[in-house]
Structure 1
């Protein structure tokens, strides 16, 4: 692909950096948390979800992050190892931190998600854990933005991005903005701005780009102006997602296009962005065009929201191809 160049002959298609935790999903659909009888346990967290998404499609994936030295941390590691994800970059923190846990309702809209992140283990990631030799094994480094929200994870994340650029690894920023993990949008915009300028590809929704433009272009809602602003630095591709309106893709060379959604009956609103990013990067690292990658990402997102979990609802390559074929046949 002309926009970004992936190094051939590398052991891993991607290394994902960020949050791996536990998701507890409501067993009953369309039920308030107060009335739910129980929850089903899965591995979750944006970075872990993306890693599983790429792995499920047949890609080779590594991970950089931290979990607690407790039963949940061991559960997360065990699941990811069983999936075949390389955990050479995973740290076990024994300082008393806790692996992140999310409780969710199972609703297509107005879905309540309660995330417990007091002294979260993934934010204990340290600079000394970042190894250039590990990053050099991968075609891409995918950073999920929550890792920027606190020290020492913030410094470790920026260091990983700098090392990745130095060793020729393509850097992808999935904005993954969680307002409650930041003091203000101004604070967040400063660090996201630094991270975006270290990235070859930036993926976010309109609200996330609004946050990143808090200082430099407050009130801007124009996607064209946003893309132009972010493409002035190192970034070569900007993808702005707009939910049911699909997504807009902008390239540094002036090429741009839009991608619609694959309409399905959604069971939940979360997981779609992680599935999108995973299918996008898997396609690009396996020789697909940017248009194919964004289309596959949109299809994977649709498959995920029609499932009842995040990690276990990530499609295989066969499931993705079958879904797209059936959808295209139904549209004719």
Structure 2
């Protein structure tokens, strides 16, 4: 306990060692600190071990490579915050890209194709959310089944073939511009940043965001305090579906080709970014800013190891080891808090 003393008519409080937060409490209160330090450490290591990592073109490419998975991870973060999981997010995104591409190829306007594709992802999110909240099925089982359904639906819809995209609006997010004459940025990078800032505000400055954290932390306590748990969880899946629809737009901006076989590991990569970003798989703790850094950590790791000549299989091993370490750190932090 802190000791109180009266000095000069003023009450002061001294902090003893017992009052100082433990390591676990520190990381629970500031979950984005660890990812920020890990990202900084990775950048320093690869900058010292390669001659090209800090090149402006390479740094821009790293950010661009993280956009699609980073956007998927944004929606994944919302679901994991409620102690759920989404194994079908990449499949929903791929199906949305196919819908957009096929409609545009059939002569439909790019705007209409874009809106229909995003709407399809939102509907998928609503269906998954309804099964989780109304039928009370486990999110893992629901999204695992939905993954199989959507993957098959995408291949059937596209006839097993990729669909090239030429519409300017659908590929607009890949448009490149240069800041200060040398830093390459795309509209997709700007949109991703705005989405993260908007989601950060929604989660930290609105009642809805507080409800999301409360439901993930202790759903029964949240219900007793007057929070409509089912409505909150359903809204999370719907918003995540909207994010996946925008991720489909990001994907077409990166590669103007809708492929039913693309992003087969996108669901796992998005979970990896969320976990590395400090969000707890047990719900109720984490931040979208941490997720953004988690997505960058994955991109930085792959870029740096590629430049060092490390085989892609060993890169997967390194990424998997990082995920296990991040989950172990989360368990340790909770036990010592």
TM-score (norm 1): 0.27
Q: Which has the higher strand share?
A: 1
Higher relative contact order (CA 8 A, sep 6+): 2
Q: Which has the higher helix share?
A: 2
TM-score (norm 2): 0.27
**Larger Rg, first or second structure (1 or 2):** 2
